[in-house]
Protein backbone atom coordinates (compact mmCIF):
# COMPACT_ATOMS: atom_id res chain seq x y z
CA UNK A 1 0.00 0.00 0.00
CA UNK A 2 1.16 3.50 -0.70
CA UNK A 3 1.05 5.13 2.74
CA UNK A 4 1.85 8.75 3.46
CA UNK A 5 0.52 8.82 7.00
CA UNK A 6 3.83 9.47 8.71
CA UNK A 7 4.45 11.51 11.84
CA UNK A 8 4.13 15.01 10.36
CA UNK A 9 0.54 14.08 9.54
CA UNK A 10 0.10 12.80 13.10
CA UNK A 11 1.40 16.10 14.37
CA UNK A 12 -1.26 17.88 12.39
CA UNK A 13 -3.82 15.70 14.14
CA UNK A 14 -2.80 17.26 17.44
CA UNK A 15 -4.80 20.37 16.63
CA UNK A 16 -8.05 18.46 16.13
CA UNK A 17 -10.26 17.73 19.11
CA UNK A 18 -13.53 15.87 19.41
CA UNK A 19 -14.43 17.54 22.72
CA UNK A 20 -14.07 20.91 24.40
CA UNK A 21 -10.44 20.42 25.36
CA UNK A 22 -8.10 23.31 24.56
CA UNK A 23 -5.87 23.07 21.53
CA UNK A 24 -2.20 22.68 22.33
CA UNK A 25 0.25 25.43 21.58
CA UNK A 26 2.47 23.74 19.02
CA UNK A 27 5.14 24.71 16.56
CA UNK A 28 4.16 24.29 12.87
CA UNK A 29 3.27 20.65 12.21
CA UNK A 30 5.79 20.20 9.42
CA UNK A 31 8.57 20.93 11.89
CA UNK A 32 7.48 18.70 14.77
CA UNK A 33 9.68 15.68 15.18
CA UNK A 34 8.45 12.16 15.86
CA UNK A 35 9.87 12.35 19.38
CA UNK A 36 7.85 15.46 20.20
CA UNK A 37 4.59 14.09 18.81
CA UNK A 38 4.53 10.97 20.96
CA UNK A 39 6.64 12.16 23.86
CA UNK A 40 3.99 13.32 26.33
CA UNK A 41 0.76 12.07 27.80
CA UNK A 42 -1.19 15.05 26.44
CA UNK A 43 0.23 14.76 22.93
CA UNK A 44 -0.63 11.06 22.67
CA UNK A 45 -4.17 11.81 23.82
CA UNK A 46 -4.50 14.56 21.25
CA UNK A 47 -3.23 12.30 18.50
CA UNK A 48 -5.99 9.89 19.54
CA UNK A 49 -8.50 12.74 19.20
CA UNK A 50 -7.11 13.21 15.71
CA UNK A 51 -8.17 9.65 14.89
CA UNK A 52 -11.69 10.48 16.00
CA UNK A 53 -11.65 13.62 13.84
CA UNK A 54 -10.91 11.54 10.72
CA UNK A 55 -13.31 8.82 11.82
CA UNK A 56 -16.22 11.28 11.49
CA UNK A 57 -15.20 12.53 8.04
CA UNK A 58 -17.78 11.98 5.26
CA UNK A 59 -15.82 9.14 3.66
CA UNK A 60 -16.09 7.13 6.87
CA UNK A 61 -18.66 7.47 9.66
CA UNK A 62 -19.63 10.97 8.70
CA UNK A 63 -21.97 9.15 6.36
CA UNK A 64 -20.53 7.27 3.39
CA UNK A 65 -20.07 3.93 5.15
CA UNK A 66 -23.78 3.98 6.01
CA UNK A 67 -24.89 5.42 2.68
CA UNK A 68 -23.05 2.90 0.51
CA UNK A 69 -24.48 -0.10 2.35
CA UNK A 70 -27.99 1.20 1.68
CA UNK A 71 -27.38 2.14 -1.95
CA UNK A 72 -25.65 -1.09 -2.98
CA UNK A 73 -28.56 -3.12 -1.60
CA UNK A 74 -31.39 -0.78 -2.62
CA UNK A 75 -33.02 -3.48 -4.78
CA UNK A 76 -36.15 -1.50 -5.67
CA UNK A 77 -36.56 0.01 -2.19
CA UNK A 78 -34.41 3.11 -2.68
CA UNK A 79 -33.35 4.99 -5.79
CA UNK A 80 -30.28 7.14 -6.23
CA UNK A 81 -31.55 10.12 -8.19
CA UNK A 82 -28.47 12.31 -7.79
CA UNK A 83 -25.95 13.40 -10.38
CA UNK A 84 -22.68 12.22 -8.80
CA UNK A 85 -21.19 9.77 -11.29
CA UNK A 86 -19.08 7.80 -8.84
CA UNK A 87 -21.99 7.25 -6.47
CA UNK A 88 -24.19 6.21 -9.39
CA UNK A 89 -21.52 3.61 -10.26
CA UNK A 90 -21.90 2.22 -6.77
CA UNK A 91 -25.71 2.24 -6.88
CA UNK A 92 -25.67 0.48 -10.25
CA UNK A 93 -23.05 -1.99 -8.96
CA UNK A 94 -20.69 -1.01 -11.78
CA UNK A 95 -17.73 0.20 -9.77
CA UNK A 96 -14.42 1.03 -11.38
CA UNK A 97 -10.99 0.68 -9.79
CA UNK A 98 -10.56 4.48 -9.81
CA UNK A 99 -13.84 5.30 -8.07
CA UNK A 100 -13.01 8.24 -5.81
CA UNK A 101 -15.39 7.26 -3.00
CA UNK A 102 -13.96 3.77 -2.79
CA UNK A 103 -10.44 5.21 -2.78
CA UNK A 104 -11.30 7.73 -0.06
CA UNK A 105 -12.79 4.99 2.13
CA UNK A 106 -9.64 2.87 1.87
CA UNK A 107 -7.22 5.76 2.41
CA UNK A 108 -9.09 7.31 5.34
CA UNK A 109 -9.64 3.98 7.08
CA UNK A 110 -5.93 3.16 6.91
CA UNK A 111 -5.15 6.68 8.05
CA UNK A 112 -7.19 6.08 11.22
CA UNK A 113 -5.52 2.68 11.62
CA UNK A 114 -2.07 4.21 11.36
CA UNK A 115 -2.86 6.92 13.89
CA UNK A 116 -4.23 4.36 16.36
CA UNK A 117 -1.14 2.20 15.79
CA UNK A 118 1.00 5.18 16.74
CA UNK A 119 -1.06 5.76 19.88
CA UNK A 120 -0.73 2.10 20.85
CA UNK A 121 3.03 2.27 20.33
CA UNK A 122 3.32 5.12 22.83
CA UNK A 123 1.18 3.89 25.71
CA UNK A 124 4.14 3.92 28.09
CA UNK A 125 4.07 7.75 28.20
CA UNK A 126 0.36 7.91 28.98
CA UNK A 127 -0.59 8.50 32.61
CA UNK A 128 -1.12 5.13 34.23
CA UNK A 129 -4.63 6.00 35.38
CA UNK A 130 -5.66 6.72 31.77
CA UNK A 131 -3.62 4.09 29.96
CA UNK A 132 -6.33 1.45 29.73
CA UNK A 133 -8.86 3.96 28.44
CA UNK A 134 -6.50 5.30 25.77
CA UNK A 135 -5.54 1.79 24.71
CA UNK A 136 -9.19 0.71 24.57
CA UNK A 137 -10.28 3.69 22.51
CA UNK A 138 -7.48 3.15 19.99
CA UNK A 139 -8.30 -0.56 19.69
CA UNK A 140 -12.01 0.21 19.32
CA UNK A 141 -11.43 2.67 16.47
CA UNK A 142 -8.96 0.33 14.75
CA UNK A 143 -11.42 -2.55 14.95
CA UNK A 144 -14.21 -0.47 13.43
CA UNK A 145 -11.97 0.41 10.51
CA UNK A 146 -10.99 -3.19 9.86
CA UNK A 147 -14.56 -4.43 10.23
CA UNK A 148 -15.84 -2.11 7.53
CA UNK A 149 -12.83 -2.63 5.29
CA UNK A 150 -13.28 -6.41 5.34
CA UNK A 151 -17.06 -6.16 4.83
CA UNK A 152 -16.77 -3.87 1.81
CA UNK A 153 -13.48 -4.95 0.19
CA UNK A 154 -13.66 -8.73 0.60
CA UNK A 155 -16.01 -11.56 -0.22
CA UNK A 156 -18.32 -12.15 2.75
CA UNK A 157 -17.57 -14.32 5.74
CA UNK A 158 -19.33 -17.66 5.38
CA UNK A 159 -20.19 -19.41 8.63
CA UNK A 160 -20.90 -22.61 6.72
CA UNK A 161 -17.25 -23.19 5.79
CA UNK A 162 -14.44 -24.15 8.16
CA UNK A 163 -11.87 -21.67 6.84
CA UNK A 164 -12.62 -18.30 5.30
CA UNK A 165 -9.34 -18.15 3.42
CA UNK A 166 -10.55 -15.69 0.75
CA UNK A 167 -8.45 -12.49 0.61
CA UNK A 168 -9.47 -9.92 3.18
CA UNK A 169 -7.50 -6.71 3.66
CA UNK A 170 -3.93 -6.02 4.80
CA UNK A 171 -3.48 -6.15 8.57
CA UNK A 172 -1.06 -3.48 9.77
CA UNK A 173 -0.48 -3.31 13.54
CA UNK A 174 2.63 -1.13 13.79
CA UNK A 175 3.08 2.54 12.85
CA UNK A 176 4.02 3.44 9.31
CA UNK A 177 6.77 6.04 9.69
CA UNK A 178 8.23 5.95 6.21
CA UNK A 179 7.71 4.39 2.82
CA UNK A 180 9.77 1.36 1.85
CA UNK A 181 9.28 -2.28 0.93
CA UNK A 182 8.05 -3.10 4.42
CA UNK A 183 4.86 -1.23 3.52
CA UNK A 184 4.04 -3.78 0.81
CA UNK A 185 1.73 -5.79 3.04
CA UNK A 186 -0.37 -8.50 1.34
CA UNK A 187 -4.02 -9.10 2.04
CA UNK A 188 -4.67 -11.27 5.09
CA UNK A 189 -7.45 -13.83 4.91
CA UNK A 190 -10.97 -12.87 5.93
CA UNK A 191 -10.60 -15.28 8.88
CA UNK A 192 -7.46 -13.50 10.05
CA UNK A 193 -9.05 -10.06 9.79
CA UNK A 194 -12.06 -11.16 11.85
CA UNK A 195 -9.73 -12.70 14.43
CA UNK A 196 -7.85 -9.41 14.71
CA UNK A 197 -11.07 -7.43 15.08
CA UNK A 198 -12.32 -9.74 17.83
CA UNK A 199 -8.98 -9.66 19.65
CA UNK A 200 -8.92 -5.85 19.56
CA UNK A 201 -12.50 -5.51 20.76
CA UNK A 202 -12.18 -8.14 23.49
CA UNK A 203 -9.21 -6.28 24.90
CA UNK A 204 -10.98 -2.93 24.49
CA UNK A 205 -14.06 -4.18 26.36
CA UNK A 206 -11.86 -5.27 29.25
CA UNK A 207 -10.01 -1.96 29.69
CA UNK A 208 -12.51 0.73 28.67
CA UNK A 209 -14.60 2.47 31.34
CA UNK A 210 -18.37 2.12 31.44
CA UNK A 211 -18.74 5.90 31.07
CA UNK A 212 -16.46 7.99 28.86
CA UNK A 213 -18.18 11.17 27.72
CA UNK A 214 -18.76 10.80 23.94
CA UNK A 215 -15.91 8.36 23.37
CA UNK A 216 -15.75 4.57 23.25
CA UNK A 217 -16.84 2.65 26.37
CA UNK A 218 -16.92 -0.95 27.50
CA UNK A 219 -20.58 -0.96 26.47
CA UNK A 220 -19.79 0.17 22.93
CA UNK A 221 -16.99 -2.39 22.62
CA UNK A 222 -19.33 -5.19 23.72
CA UNK A 223 -22.03 -3.93 21.37
CA UNK A 224 -19.65 -3.84 18.42
CA UNK A 225 -18.47 -7.34 19.32
CA UNK A 226 -22.11 -8.48 19.19
CA UNK A 227 -22.39 -7.00 15.69
CA UNK A 228 -19.15 -8.67 14.56
CA UNK A 229 -20.15 -12.07 15.94
CA UNK A 230 -23.58 -11.79 14.29
CA UNK A 231 -21.90 -11.09 10.94
CA UNK A 232 -19.84 -14.26 11.45
CA UNK A 233 -22.89 -16.33 12.37
CA UNK A 234 -21.45 -16.97 15.85
CA UNK A 235 -24.80 -16.69 17.59
CA UNK A 236 -23.64 -17.74 21.04
CA UNK A 237 -21.09 -14.95 21.32
CA UNK A 238 -23.39 -12.48 19.55
CA UNK A 239 -26.12 -13.21 22.06
CA UNK A 240 -23.84 -12.96 25.08
CA UNK A 241 -22.16 -9.70 24.03
CA UNK A 242 -25.51 -8.14 23.11
CA UNK A 243 -26.89 -9.19 26.47
CA UNK A 244 -23.91 -7.57 28.21
CA UNK A 245 -24.40 -4.36 26.23
CA UNK A 246 -28.11 -4.27 27.06
CA UNK A 247 -27.25 -4.49 30.74
CA UNK A 248 -24.80 -1.58 30.56
CA UNK A 249 -27.26 1.16 31.52
CA UNK A 250 -28.86 2.19 28.21
CA UNK A 251 -32.64 2.54 27.84
CA UNK A 252 -34.93 2.60 24.82
CA UNK A 253 -36.45 5.97 24.02
CA UNK A 254 -40.21 5.92 24.44
CA UNK A 255 -40.80 7.61 21.08
CA UNK A 256 -39.11 6.29 17.93
CA UNK A 257 -38.76 9.68 16.23
CA UNK A 258 -36.92 11.09 19.26
CA UNK A 259 -34.01 8.70 18.65
CA UNK A 260 -32.90 10.67 15.59
CA UNK A 261 -31.85 14.20 14.61
CA UNK A 262 -30.44 15.01 18.02
CA UNK A 263 -27.68 17.40 19.02
CA UNK A 264 -26.68 15.15 21.93
CA UNK A 265 -26.80 11.35 22.37
CA UNK A 266 -30.04 9.89 23.66
CA UNK A 267 -30.38 7.24 26.37
CA UNK A 268 -30.55 4.68 23.55
CA UNK A 269 -27.26 5.61 21.89
CA UNK A 270 -24.41 3.26 22.72
CA UNK A 271 -21.93 4.92 20.37
CA UNK A 272 -22.27 7.97 18.14
CA UNK A 273 -20.12 10.37 16.24
CA UNK A 274 -20.68 14.10 16.22
CA UNK A 275 -20.81 16.38 13.21
CA UNK A 276 -20.16 19.96 14.28
CA UNK A 277 -20.31 23.20 12.32
CA UNK A 278 -16.52 23.00 12.15
CA UNK A 279 -16.86 19.82 10.08
CA UNK A 280 -18.36 19.27 6.69
CA UNK A 281 -22.02 18.48 7.41
CA UNK A 282 -23.38 14.95 7.74
CA UNK A 283 -23.11 13.05 4.46
CA UNK A 284 -26.28 11.14 5.33
CA UNK A 285 -28.14 14.45 5.57
CA UNK A 286 -26.49 15.58 2.35
CA UNK A 287 -27.86 12.65 0.35
CA UNK A 288 -30.94 11.42 2.22
CA UNK A 289 -32.49 14.79 3.05
CA UNK A 290 -33.58 17.94 1.22
CA UNK A 291 -32.49 21.61 1.29
CA UNK A 292 -34.95 22.50 4.06
CA UNK A 293 -32.83 20.41 6.44
CA UNK A 294 -29.42 21.03 4.90
CA UNK A 295 -29.45 18.29 2.24
CA UNK A 296 -29.05 18.43 -1.50
CA UNK A 297 -32.08 18.20 -3.77
CA UNK A 298 -33.07 14.79 -2.50
CA UNK A 299 -30.58 12.32 -3.95
CA UNK A 300 -32.01 9.18 -2.31
CA UNK A 301 -35.70 8.43 -2.92
CA UNK A 302 -37.47 5.93 -0.68
CA UNK A 303 -39.71 3.82 -2.91
CA UNK A 304 -43.12 2.25 -2.36
CA UNK A 305 -41.63 -1.23 -2.13
CA UNK A 306 -39.96 -0.27 1.13
CA UNK A 307 -42.87 1.70 2.55
CA UNK A 308 -45.19 -1.25 1.89
CA UNK A 309 -43.24 -3.32 4.45
CA UNK A 310 -44.72 -1.32 7.33
CA UNK A 311 -48.07 -1.72 9.03
CA UNK A 312 -50.03 1.55 8.53
CA UNK A 313 -50.10 1.99 12.33
CA UNK A 314 -46.32 1.70 12.66
CA UNK A 315 -44.82 4.95 14.00
CA UNK A 316 -41.66 4.16 12.06
CA UNK A 317 -43.65 4.61 8.85
CA UNK A 318 -44.76 8.04 10.06
CA UNK A 319 -41.14 9.18 10.17
CA UNK A 320 -40.91 9.15 6.36
CA UNK A 321 -41.88 12.43 4.73
CA UNK A 322 -42.39 13.93 1.29
CA UNK A 323 -39.65 16.27 0.16
CA UNK A 324 -39.04 17.59 -3.35
CA UNK A 325 -41.81 15.37 -4.67
CA UNK A 326 -40.43 12.06 -3.34
CA UNK A 327 -40.53 10.15 -0.06
CA UNK A 328 -37.53 10.61 2.24
CA UNK A 329 -36.21 8.97 5.37
CA UNK A 330 -36.78 11.25 8.35
CA UNK A 331 -33.76 9.90 10.22
CA UNK A 332 -31.25 12.27 8.66
CA UNK A 333 -32.67 15.77 8.94
CA UNK A 334 -29.96 17.17 11.21
CA UNK A 335 -27.12 18.76 9.27
CA UNK A 336 -24.96 18.85 12.38
CA UNK A 337 -25.18 16.82 15.56
CA UNK A 338 -25.34 13.13 16.36
CA UNK A 339 -24.86 10.37 13.81
CA UNK A 340 -26.29 7.24 15.46
CA UNK A 341 -23.83 4.39 14.97
CA UNK A 342 -24.73 1.79 17.61
CA UNK A 343 -27.99 1.95 19.51
CA UNK A 344 -29.73 -0.25 22.03
CA UNK A 345 -32.49 -1.38 19.67
CA UNK A 346 -29.90 -3.21 17.56
CA UNK A 347 -28.75 -5.14 20.62
CA UNK A 348 -32.31 -6.29 21.35
CA UNK A 349 -32.57 -7.47 17.74
CA UNK A 350 -29.25 -9.33 17.91
CA UNK A 351 -30.16 -11.00 21.20
CA UNK A 352 -33.59 -11.96 19.90
CA UNK A 353 -32.23 -13.48 16.68
CA UNK A 354 -29.39 -15.32 18.40
CA UNK A 355 -31.60 -16.66 21.19
CA UNK A 356 -34.17 -17.83 18.64
CA UNK A 357 -31.60 -19.62 16.50
CA UNK A 358 -30.06 -21.26 19.57
CA UNK A 359 -33.34 -22.09 21.29
CA UNK A 360 -32.31 -20.15 24.39
CA UNK A 361 -33.70 -17.27 26.45
CA UNK A 362 -30.52 -15.66 27.80
CA UNK A 363 -31.42 -12.19 29.07
CA UNK A 364 -34.94 -12.33 27.65
CA UNK A 365 -37.07 -14.48 25.40
CA UNK A 366 -37.01 -13.45 21.73
CA UNK A 367 -40.70 -12.64 21.99
CA UNK A 368 -40.02 -10.12 24.77
CA UNK A 369 -37.21 -8.38 22.90
CA UNK A 370 -39.31 -7.99 19.77
CA UNK A 371 -42.40 -6.88 21.65
CA UNK A 372 -40.36 -4.19 23.37
CA UNK A 373 -39.55 -2.69 19.96
CA UNK A 374 -43.09 -3.20 18.67
CA UNK A 375 -44.49 -1.43 21.71
CA UNK A 376 -42.15 1.50 21.12
CA UNK A 377 -43.33 1.56 17.48
CA UNK A 378 -46.89 2.19 18.68
CA UNK A 379 -48.46 -1.27 18.81
CA UNK A 380 -48.91 -1.57 22.56
CA UNK A 381 -47.53 -4.17 24.93
CA UNK A 382 -47.45 -7.85 23.96
CA UNK A 383 -48.25 -7.17 20.32
CA UNK A 384 -47.03 -10.60 19.22
CA UNK A 385 -48.28 -13.73 20.97
CA UNK A 386 -45.55 -15.76 19.27
CA UNK A 387 -42.61 -14.80 17.13
CA UNK A 388 -40.82 -16.49 14.22
CA UNK A 389 -37.36 -15.95 12.75
CA UNK A 390 -39.00 -14.17 9.81
CA UNK A 391 -40.73 -11.83 12.26
CA UNK A 392 -37.40 -11.03 13.91
CA UNK A 393 -35.62 -10.39 10.61
CA UNK A 394 -38.43 -8.17 9.35
CA UNK A 395 -38.37 -6.25 12.62
CA UNK A 396 -34.65 -5.71 12.13
CA UNK A 397 -35.23 -4.47 8.60
CA UNK A 398 -37.86 -1.95 9.73
CA UNK A 399 -36.17 -0.77 12.90
CA UNK A 400 -32.73 -0.23 11.35
CA UNK A 401 -33.81 0.92 7.89
CA UNK A 402 -31.44 3.38 6.19
CA UNK A 403 -28.85 3.23 8.99
CA UNK A 404 -26.20 1.30 7.05
CA UNK A 405 -27.16 -2.33 7.77
CA UNK A 406 -28.88 -3.52 4.60
CA UNK A 407 -25.93 -4.72 2.49
CA UNK A 408 -24.28 -6.51 5.37
CA UNK A 409 -27.51 -8.30 6.27
CA UNK A 410 -27.94 -9.37 2.65
CA UNK A 411 -24.51 -10.97 2.79
CA UNK A 412 -24.80 -12.73 6.14
CA UNK A 413 -28.31 -14.03 5.33
CA UNK A 414 -27.24 -15.04 1.82
CA UNK A 415 -29.95 -13.08 0.04
CA UNK A 416 -29.92 -11.55 -3.42
CA UNK A 417 -29.67 -7.99 -4.71
CA UNK A 418 -31.24 -7.27 -8.08
CA UNK A 419 -30.90 -10.96 -9.02
CA UNK A 420 -27.28 -11.02 -7.90
CA UNK A 421 -26.29 -13.57 -5.25
CA UNK A 422 -24.97 -12.28 -1.92
CA UNK A 423 -21.37 -13.13 -2.91
CA UNK A 424 -21.43 -11.62 -6.40
CA UNK A 425 -18.25 -9.84 -7.44
CA UNK A 426 -20.22 -6.65 -8.07
CA UNK A 427 -21.18 -6.44 -4.39
CA UNK A 428 -17.53 -6.17 -3.34
CA UNK A 429 -15.49 -2.98 -3.66
CA UNK A 430 -12.39 -3.11 -5.87
CA UNK A 431 -9.01 -2.50 -4.28
CA UNK A 432 -8.26 1.07 -5.43
CA UNK A 433 -6.04 1.30 -8.50
CA UNK A 434 -3.50 3.55 -6.76
CA UNK A 435 -2.99 0.92 -4.07
CA UNK A 436 -2.51 -1.91 -6.56
CA UNK A 437 0.02 0.22 -8.44
CA UNK A 438 1.94 1.14 -5.30
CA UNK A 439 1.92 -2.26 -3.60
CA UNK A 440 2.80 -5.27 -5.79
CA UNK A 441 1.75 -7.60 -2.95
CA UNK A 442 -1.91 -6.62 -3.20
CA UNK A 443 -4.27 -8.94 -5.06
CA UNK A 444 -7.22 -7.36 -6.87
CA UNK A 445 -10.75 -8.64 -6.30
CA UNK A 446 -12.36 -10.87 -8.94
CA UNK A 447 -14.07 -8.99 -11.72
CA UNK A 448 -11.84 -5.91 -11.54
CA UNK A 449 -8.68 -7.09 -13.31
> Residue 73: is its pLDDT beyond 50?
yes
On the 0-12 / 13-18 / 19+ scale of CB atoms within 10 A, 390 is exposed
> Residue 134: is its pLDDT beyond 70?
yes
> Residue 412: is its pLDDT beyond 50?
yes
Of the pLDDT bands very low, low, confident and very high (cuts 50, 70, 90), residue 278 is confident
Looking at residue 381, its pLDDT comes to 85
Contact indicator for 59, 104 with CB cutoff of 8 Å: yes
> Residue 71: is its pLDDT beyond 70?
yes
Mean pLDDT value of segment 119-143: 98
Q: What is the sign of the dihedral through the CA atoms of 290, 296, 299 and 300?
A: negative
pLDDT per residue as tens digits for the range 255-275: 999 999 999 999 999 999 988
Q: C-alpha angle 106/108/111, rounded to 5°?
A: 110
Return mean pLDDT, the chain: 91
Looking at residue 184, its pLDDT comes to 87
Determine which of 130-144, 172-186, 222-236 has the lowest per-residue pLDDT on average: 172-186
Determine which of 7-11, 415-419, 438-442 has the lowest per-residue pLDDT on average: 7-11
The residue ranges of every structural domain in the chain are 7-417
Looking at residue 449, its pLDDT comes to 79
Return the higher-pLDDT residue of 158 and 177.
158
Looking at residue 326, its pLDDT comes to 96
Rounded Cα distance between 233 and 236, Å, is: 9
Mean pLDDT value of segment 357-376: 98
Of the pLDDT bands very low, low, confident and very high (cuts 50, 70, 90), residue 147 is very high
pLDDT per residue as tens digits for the range 85-100: 999 999 999 999 999 9
Return the higher-pLDDT residue of 144 and 180.
144
pTM of the model: 0.92
CATH of domain 7-417: 1.25.40.390
Determine which of 4-8, 43-47, 59-63, 152-156 has the lowest per-residue pLDDT on average: 4-8
The closest alpha carbon to 248, from 220, 225, 285, belongs to 220
pLDDT per residue as tens digits for the range 322-347: 999 999 999 999 989 999 999 999 99
On the 0-12 / 13-18 / 19+ scale of CB atoms within 10 A, 402 is buried
Rounded Cα distance between 257 and 319, Å, is: 7
Amino acid sequence: MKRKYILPVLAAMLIFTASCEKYLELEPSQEISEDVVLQTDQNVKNVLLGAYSIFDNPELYGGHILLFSELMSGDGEVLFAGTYTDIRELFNKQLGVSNQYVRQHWMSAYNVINITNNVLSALEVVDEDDRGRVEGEALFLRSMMYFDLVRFFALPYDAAVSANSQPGVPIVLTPTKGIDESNDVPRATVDAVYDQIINDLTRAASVLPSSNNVFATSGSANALLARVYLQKGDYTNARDRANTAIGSGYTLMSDYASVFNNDEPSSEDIFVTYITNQDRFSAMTEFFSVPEFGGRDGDVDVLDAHLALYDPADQRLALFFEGNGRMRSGKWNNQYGVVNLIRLAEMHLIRAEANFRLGTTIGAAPLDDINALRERAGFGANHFATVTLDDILLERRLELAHEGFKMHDVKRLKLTVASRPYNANELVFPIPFREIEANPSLEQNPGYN
